[in-house]
Structure 1
Amino acid sequence: MSDSNLTDSLQTAMNDLFRRIAPAADELGKLFAERGHRLALVGGSVRDVFLGRIGNDLDLTTDARPERVLEIVRDWADSIWTIGIDFGTVGVRKGNWLLEITTYRSESYDPKSRKPEVVYGDTLEGDLERRDYAVNAMAVTLPEHEFVDPYGGLTDLAAKVLRTPGPPERSFDDDPLRMLRAARFASQLGFTVDAPVVEAMTAMADRIEIVSAERIRDELDKLICGAHPREGLALLVGTGLAAHVLPELPKLRLEIDEHHRHKDVYEHTLIVLEQAIDLEENGCDRVLRWAALLHDVGKPKTRRHEPGGRVSFHHHEVVGAQMAKKRLSELRFPKDVVADVARLVELHLRFHGYGTGEWTDSAVRRYVRDAGHLLDRLHKLTRADCTTRNKRKAQVLSRIYDQLEERIARLAEEEELAKLRPELDGNEIQEILGIPPGPAVGRAYKFLYDMRLDKGLIGKEAAAQALREWAAAREG
């Protein structure tokens, strides 16, 4: 992009920005100026202006210390929160705007500590220099609206490249998490990473060990929910960072697919992830994406060489579910996310037992029961897991799964499959068998539940008769 085009783009974006954020931002800028302080819109908020992604969350930076910021905004803001004040950040809501105001700062890690040490700075230029990438080191002063770009961030933005304001080694030594941010931005923005940055990431990959699991989780989760996760994941694997934060992924490069359909299971995994994304309906489904990424992680541990040159991975779905649960738990994901992803990994091969439709209605019911609330995601993961280059085979598999979904829909309509339960409840069991509440009722209920799965709806009278026969057989 030429300098004149950049200038035109800058002016258009700035005009659009200030049409939207005034008067809130300008009012705040004047408040700070009247009290002898500087204020500027900064970082991702400025970057996103040029990407056409202006939101209601704005990042600002100031020379005022946090306690002074609180004094200035106290009577102006609709609400204030101080959860990040130890790191120099005060949160403010004004109307529909959410503003985070952070004191000029630099932060670095002690080699033996997981927590960054925050040191306040005195100049806007110094604050911009300590930021992760040049595209995030642009600012607009308030209320003057002066554009500040000492490190060529606008040029990098036009070229779609990630470059650090200073030497990448210094940047990553200050905050190793910035290496993961490079991969996250590659995923979210589709940017390439400058060669010196990649070299520094490769050389310093082990520095990521000092960062807390929660911060690593947040970056990986944003990466997986980006528009281009393949690019971010490939960067993690290529630089060796994945070996420290998601070691199951690079290990897949060593395993050749049992049908020789792909160069390796790693490539197959990335294709499955992309195909799962194509099946999403309402934005990022992180449970589906993580399940797609981890669905084959059990293959390295279960790899066996068979006669005739074949390779098998028996029970890799069971082993993979355990590995997925362990990895996501160590990354401090919420328990429900861990459980759902692990369950999808465990079930992702179940469909292949369906063959060409040999399952009984009972087997279909059990498939639905085992999937539970994950049934729709299991449909998508199973379809995404078909990556054969043989178009005819892919079409056959797709048709067979269409038939399974049709059977599930038919059974659901006929039997309210989503509300699967015995036809007799606990009170009716007690009345029919003449027994009090207790374990015997639970055993009878399980018998009726299993019968419901096997035979479908048979009516209350038939269910009661079957219950009596079951009880009599146990007594005999």
Structure 2
Amino acid sequence: MTDTAPGGQTRDVERAERRMRLLASAAVTLQSLGDILTPLADRFADRGHELYLVGGSVRDAVLGRLGNDLDFTTDARPEVIAQILAGWGDAVWDTGIEFGTVSATKDDATVEITTFRSDLYDQQSRNPVVTFGDTLEDDLIRRDFRINAMAVKLLPGGQQQFCDPLDGMHDLLVGVIDTPAAPESSFNDDPLRMLRGVRFVSQLGFRLADRVVVATREMAGQIDRITAERIRVELDKMICGEHPLEAIDLLVDTGLADRVMPEVPGMKLTIDEHHQHKDVYQHSLTVLKQAIDLETGDPDPVLRWAALLHDIGKPATRRHEAGGGVSFHHHEVVGAKLVRKRMRALKYPKAVVDDVSQLVFLHLRFHGYGDGMWTDSAVRRYVTDAGPLLERLHKLVRADCTTRNKRRARRLQETYDSLEERIAVLNAAEDLDRVRPDLDGNAIMELLGLPPGPVVGEAWKYLKELRLDVGPMSREDAEAALQAWWRAREGGA
């Protein structure tokens, strides 16, 4: 492809030079995997078959981000692949053999080898009628995007040959995500590809080709053909990418968000009460960005989802107050319920649903701290209610400060510093991570002469609340308090 814009010839030269550099770098990367690739290629050649590294593995090798999961394609049929892999890897399994795939592990690598495919789709689901093909070109053209339709032919003795019949390297060089054929045809075959395109925007920092954006807008409703589980996987990969804000904007702009997570575009309707952002949606993106900046390790999907969704209860709780103000009372309660409903619909694991909704529920609690006027009891309850989510809650609360007033922002951060210091002091004295009643169930039953049953649970809950209010107690004081509670309970019965 020739660039005819002013300075186009210079850009062509620069692009050609960059292409050569990337290919050379990819070759070095693949040579470092020679202990895996070369013996594997030799085995296929000995049986008279071709072997290609393909798809995302080639894309990531070119971009310098290749991991340990390697994808291959071959003209060999699945049964032959299984025979070739027998005795090569540490483990071999054929659970995907009906789709032409046999997998294996070797050292730290996992390989998936799939027979050339030339599938047909029924345009009703995303499940193809698996048809094996005979050429690499036919296999590549059925793939989702051209950047994933490059291959490297692995020759005997460690030689390599780059194969790019659809010019995926051009798309990679210019940072664009485009389909091999017309996007309408590709998305009719598999609507999940629309969501995968958005996910790649987040992971790679590329942009969707204009025709892909148009087709996605027109066909967004087709995503309803996809199962919730598959949608959830793509959404998690999107939120954990390096550029999630751009991807979320695209998700909303194309209408996909209206189908898979309508609460997010729904925030565009609500102006925040401080008028610091165009709308709650923009505020939420800022909170997400600031939460990401506070991460100290791998991407944290629980924190990121909580940051994006922490204010989704605002549209339903919006009230116009006298004097022109706007309030969102109890939006954290409503938001937590909405998070549970949406994430359950997307088939998230229960633990993830619980954690994200609890963070949303707790994200406003800090604002009752004021100028440090909480009692020790209130601090204990804050820590106990957060439980193992406390560090994430710290990050979410700090990220939720998006005011442009530098003095106010500094005051909020200093106030939260004060709360964290108080938590640290109490934790050193009381071990707040394990706040328990000072008597366990057996001691309660022995002291009150009770059999196992719900009354023991009531007594345990009373002691837990007492522990939160007054801190650690001696056994004697705990027993005396429990007996006083029991007398009052029995007297009022």
TM-score bracket, normalised by the shorter chain, equals over 0.9
Q: Shift in Å at residue 127 of structure 1? A: 1.1
> Aligned equivalents of 1:382 and 1:27: distance in 2?
53
Counterpart CA distance in 2 for 1:470 and 1:246 is 48
Give the Cα–Cα distance (whole angstroms) in 1 for the partners of residues 129 and 208 of structure 2: 27
1:34 and 1:437, CA in 2 relative to 1: closer, same or farther beyond 3 A?
A: closer
Partners of 1:306 and 1:242 lie apart in 2 by 31
Contact 1:9 1:50 in 2 (8 A): no
The answer to whether 1:145 aligns with 2:145 is no
- Structure 1: 5+ residue stretches without partners: none
CA-based RMSD of the aligned residues comes to 1.7
SS at match of 1:424: coil
SS at match of 1:307: coil
2:80 pairs with 1:68: yes
2:89 equivalent in structure 1: 77
C-alpha deviation, 1:87, in angstroms: 2.3
CA contact (8 A) 1:13 1:50 kept: yes
Q: Does 1:172 align with 2:187?
A: yes
Q: What letter corresponds to residue 97 of structure 2 in structure 1?
A: I
Corresponding letter in the other structure for 2:205: G
User: Residue 15 of structure 1: which of 15, 19, 27 is its match?
Assistant: 27
Q: What is aligned with 2:238?
A: 223
Are residue 25 (structure 1) and residue 40 (structure 2) matched? no
Mapping of residues 366-381 of structure 1, within 5 Å: 366-381=381-396
Q: Give 2:6's aligned residue.
A: none
CA 1:168 to 1:396, structure 2 compared with 1: closer, same or farther past 3 Å? same
Aligned CA distance change for structure 1 residues 319 and 174 (closer, same or farther; 3 Å): same
- Within 2, Cα distance between the matches of 1:9 and 1:292? 39
- Aligned pairs for 1:123-134 within 5 A: 123-134=135-146
The CA distance in 2 between the partners of 1:396 and 1:214, in whole Å, is 43
Question: Which amino acid in 1 is paired with 2:256?
Answer: L
Map Cα deviations across residues 407-428 of structure 1 (whole Å, 9 max, x no partner).
1111111111111112223333
Which residue identity is paired with 2:322? P
Is the aligned partner of 1:441 residue 2:456? yes
Of residues 32, 35, 49, the one that matches 2:47 is 35
Structure 1 residues 190-245: Cα deviation after superposition (integer angstroms, max 9, x where no partner): 11111111111111111111111111111110000001100111111111111111
Residue type at the aligned position of 1:135: I
Maintained 8 Å contact 1:114/1:212: no
Secondary structure of residue in 1 paired with 2:409: helix
Q: Which amino acid aligns with 2:394?
A: H
* CA–CA distance in structure 1, aligned partners of residues 373 and 118 of structure 2: 65
Corresponding position: 1:58 with 2:64: no
Note closer, same or farther for the CA distance 1:96–1:425 as it changes in structure 2 (3 Å cut). Answer: closer
What's the CA shift string for 1:30-89, capped at 9, x where partnerless? Answer: 222222322101111111112111222211011222222112222323211223223222
**Equivalent of residue 440 in structure 2, options 416, 420, 425:** 425
Aligned to 1:333: 348
CA separation of 1:248/1:43 partners in 2, compared to 1, >3 Å: closer, same or farther? same
Rounded Cα–Cα distance in structure 2 between residues aligned with 1:117 and 1:324:
37
Alignment correspondent of 2:270: 255
Q: Secondary structure at the match of 2:71?
A: strand
**Paired residue secondary structure (1:93):** strand
Matches of 2:183 and 2:244, distance apart in 1: 23
Counterpart CA distance in 2 for 1:183 and 1:3 is: 25
Q: 1:293 to 1:84 in 2, by over 3 A?
A: farther
User: Partners in 1 of 2:339 and 2:119 — Cα distance?
Assistant: 33
Q: Quote the Cα distance in structure 2 between the aligned partners of 1:7 and 1:368.
A: 54
3-state SS of paired residue (1:141): strand
Choose the corresponding residue for 2:289, options 267, 274, 283: 274
AA partner of residue 59 (structure 2): R
Q: Deviations over 1:145-188 (max 9, x none)?
A: 11111122112212111121222112212211111111111101
Which range is displaced more, 440-449 or 249-258?
440-449
Displacement of 1:445: 2.2
Question: Of 246, 249, 258, which aligns to 1:234?
Answer: 249
Between the aligned partners of 1:340 and 1:108, the Cα distance in structure 2 is 41
Q: How many residues align?
A: 476
- 2:429 counterpart residue number: 414
Residue identity over aligned pairs, in percent, reads 59
Report if the CA contact (8 A) 1:56-1:97 is conserved.
yes
Aligned partner letter, 1:12:
A
| Inter-partner Cα distance in structure 2 for 1:250 and 1:435 | 55
The Cα offsets for residues 262-298 of structure 1, whole Å up to 9 and x where unpaired, read as 1001101111111111111111111111111111111
Are 1:404 and 2:416 an aligned pair? no
Are the aligned partners of 2:29 and 2:64 in contact in 1 as well (CA < 8 Å)? Answer: no
Which blocks of at least 5 consecutive residues in structure 2 are unaligned?
1-10
Q: Cα–Cα, structure 1 residues 232 and 11, in superposed 2: closer, same or farther, change >3 Å?
A: closer
2:299 counterpart letter in structure 1: C
